[in-house]
Amino acid sequence: MSKVVRTARGEMVNFDAIIIKQQLAKAPMNIEVARRKQFIDSKEGKPRGQQLEAVEPSKVEPIIEAPVEAPVEVKAKEKGTK
């Protein structure tokens, strides 16, 4: 009997199916699958599993802005006179 459990979200999870899929993934590739994988990798341009090298971020000087004063009209409105 398979282990089918309902998650908190209400989705059904079959643990036996997950175990079978993991076993299939771990099984060694046969010759036909290996050829197909090699063909696909040659078309993609880079082999699977190969990661790109990390690039250091460029050093950028922080932009320091000078404080900007409010226009004369705004200052007058704040004081209550015009």
Do 72 and 79 form a contact (C-beta atoms < 8 A)?
Answer: no
Helices (H), 3-59: 15-26, 31-44
Spell out, as residue ranges, where the chain has pLDDT lower than 50.
none
Per-residue confidence (pLDDT) for residue 12, from 0 to 100: 92
Per-residue confidence (pLDDT) for residue 76, from 0 to 100: 64
Per-residue confidence (pLDDT) for residue 50, from 0 to 100: 67
Per-residue confidence (pLDDT) for residue 18, from 0 to 100: 92
What end-to-end distance do the CA atoms of the chain give, in Å?
86
